[in-house]
Amino acid sequence: MQLKSKLAMTAAVPLFLMQAPAFAGEITWWAPEFGADRAEVLAQKFEEQNPDISVRVERVVPNGLQNRVLVALQSGNTPDLIDVANGWTVPFATTGGLMQLDDFIADNEIDLDDFLPAALNTAKVDGGLYGIPFRAEAHAMIYNKDMFREAGLDPEDFPETWAELQEVAAALTNGSHYGMGIAGGGEVSNTIFRSLPFLWMNGGGVLSEDLQSSILDTPESVEAVDFYTSFLAEGSAPPSTLENDGTALRRLFIAETIAIYQSGQFDLGSIAQENPDIDVGTALIPHPEGKETSVILGGWNFVIPDAAKNKEDAETFLAYLLEPENMGYYTDNNFPARETAMQMEQFQLPEYEKFREMLQYARPQPPVNNWVQITQMYFDSIQEILLGGADVQEVLTDTTQQIDGLLK
């Protein structure tokens, strides 16, 4: 993949995106609101150690952030440091809007061997590094042990294969209680993160290995999509599946409406707080018989826009944020992307074990510029199948042709 010399995407520049004039010694950091409180603590501590540099933390809403960053990069009116989801980094870099960080790595003697390799790969283009991962996520299965017991199932014997999961989900379904919760609505990535790994572990996927064509219509992919959607078709998932995103699934689990769902360890705190009576279990994501599980590597990267006004100070601050103890603090109840930070006590909780184990099976999303459009097409096909009555092979064959047309 070759870098373009200038931004290739166009978008109108809203007035609210225009940045205030930059002053020497001042940097602006766009931090998603879910981590902004900790961002402000880190900024204050940094300022105490570096009195000549001030950090202005701007809280940004995650929904719509991808487009907001793109518009900022296109306009040249950027902050100095941005947190971006790891799947956005390569598309942003290929527009020419991000600063290459290899010299920064060398100058600050950052040990890249201490970072999760898969996380680093989310920020590489043509061998160059355009982002530094700080947060890594991998889903696992979260389940209600008491609901297992009530159904006469052993809560310590969670299903390992697809067939076993379907059988257990059916056994857990009774009246208004459902065995399995799957995502089929809300923001597209909710369904992508929960369904695409099933295609991977079965030898299928949305795109070919060389990223030049779609393989969504192959037998392996069709079988995996049929498996994912079967929970609703067979009545083991709630009727609200077409509206359910990750937040809805967590709420259904807390209400004890569903017994099993897939998410990250970041849900565990909310579950414990809102329904402490649930006996929560965690497990690896089931796989096809004789095959290996898989999961999408989620997470976030730090990037410095190429148009940043205070790159030198931004680099100084970034080096501070990458120190293991600071990274561990900032990621809070999510895993840091550095191995040394992962050794901190807060990440050694027994309930995190399965999520840590799933990291070894994690893969980044395909690094293609039009992945957003491709995932929308894939999501639309999943929704069409979930509606019922559609032939899985026919739907996926049609979607494959659409994706191939986009890739040409």
Query: pLDDT tens track of the chain, all 408 residues?
Result: 444 433 333 333 443 344 444 456 899 999 999 999 999 999 999 999 999 999 999 999 987 898 899 999 999 999 999 999 998 999 899 889 999 999 999 999 999 999 999 999 999 999 999 999 999 999 999 999 999 999 999 999 999 999 999 999 999 999 999 999 999 998 898 999 999 999 999 999 999 999 999 999 999 999 999 999 999 999 999 999 999 999 999 999 999 999 999 999 999 999 999 999 999 999 999 999 999 999 999 999 999 999 999 999 999 999 999 999 999 999 988 999 999 999 999 999 999 999 999 999 999 999 888 888 999 999 999 999 999 989 999 999 999 999 999 998
SS3 140: strand
The whole-angstrom separation of Cα 11 and Cα 76 is 12
Q: Parse the chain into domains and list their residue ranges.
A: 15-137+298-363, 140-296+370-407
What is the reported pLDDT for 24?
62
**Strand runs labelled E in 123-277:** 124-125, 128-129, 132-137, 140-144, 178-180, 258-263
Domains 15-137+298-363 and 140-296+370-407 share a fold: yes
What is the reported pLDDT for 371?
87
| Topology, domain 15-137+298-363 | D-Maltodextrin-Binding Protein; domain 2 (3.40.190)
Of 40, 83, 31, the residue nearest 60 (C-alpha): 31
Residue type, 324: P
What is the reported pLDDT for 23?
53
Structure tokens at 2: 């070759």
How far lies 379's CA from each of 62, 211, 273, in Å? 20, 18, 32
What is the reported pLDDT for 187?
85
Residue 282 pairs with which residues in a beta bridge? 142
Of 158, 138, 130, 129, the residue nearest 283 (C-alpha): 158
The whole-angstrom separation of Cα 215 and Cα 222 is 10
Give the β-pairing of 81-85 and 298-303: antiparallel
Of 36, 142, 21, the residue nearest 83 (C-alpha): 36
Burial (CB count within 10 angstroms: exposed 0-12, middle 13-18, buried 19+), residue 101: buried
Q: Which CATH class is domain 140-296+370-407?
A: alpha beta
Q: The whole model's pTM is what?
A: 0.85
